[in-house]
Amino acid sequence: MLELHNVSKWFGGLPALQDVSFCIDPGRVTALIGPNGAGKSTLINCISGVDRAQTGSILLAKRPVEALPAHEIAALGVARTFQNLKLFARLSVLDNVLTGLTVSAERSFTVSMLRLPALRHQERQLKKNGWRWPAPS
Ligand SMILES: Nc1ncnc2c1ncn2[C@@H]1O[C@H](COP(=O)(O)OP(=O)(O)OP(=O)(O)O)[C@@H](O)[C@H]1O
Ligand SMILES: [Mg+2]
């Protein structure tokens, strides 16, 4: 499902990631553990496109994603949270969660701005069924 090959990242002259390689199989829960400063967040940033590795390759279902922008990686099914949460204080808990699902929404700018029926239908569906990520192709 997810493959990393020799991923490295430096900040200035300091290595944060050095030749990180591993594979994660689908259908399993996998944890990344390590002491403070070990590079966990840096690695998650590189996988999700928030930051760029300087060397190596990252494959999602055999597709190279290391050069894709974060929103395209998210659309392929990579979801993440951040250590410092930024919630919308004026939204409900449910609406905050739904905000994270809008990456999957098939709707246009006009539909969203005018809150046309298609948008409300999709929101009802998300609230009722949740969202299942498509298998990356
Ligand atoms: N933007 C940055 N600029 C410079 N150095 C950075 C930057 N981000 C991370 N580092 C350095 O890279 C190394 C890895 O940091 P990272 O935040 O990835 O570790 P972590 O495993 O997530 O730590 P923690 O458990 O504290 O969250 C550390 O030495 C850190 O100081
Ligand atoms: Mg961290």
Q: What is the pLDDT of residues 75-107, one digit of tens each?
A: 888 988 888 888 999 999 988 888 877 776 666
Q: Full-prediction pTM beyond 0.85? A: no
Query: 128 or 71: which carries more pLDDT confidence?
Result: 71
Where are the CATH 3.40.50.300 domain residues in the chain? Answer: 2-75
Answer whether 37 contacts ligand 1 (Cβ < 6 A).
Answer: yes
Using only C-alpha atoms, what is the Rg of the chain?
Answer: 17
2-75 domain in CATH 3.40.50.300?
Answer: yes
| Cα distance between residue 83 and residue 73, in whole Å | 19
Closest C-alpha among 61, 57, 51, 48 to residue 21: 57
CA 87 / ligand 2 centre spacing (Å): 19
- Contact at 8 Å (CB) between 108 and 137? no
Q: Tell me: the pLDDT tens digits for 13-66?
A: 899 999 999 999 998 999 999 999 999 999 999 999 999 999 999 999 999 999
pLDDT of res. 122: 81
Strands (E), 12-112: 14-24, 55-60, 63-64
d(CA 76, CA 134): 7
d(CA 24, CA 57): 14
Ligand 1 contacts CB of residue 41 (under 6 A): yes
CA atoms of 35 and 92, how far apart (whole Å): 34
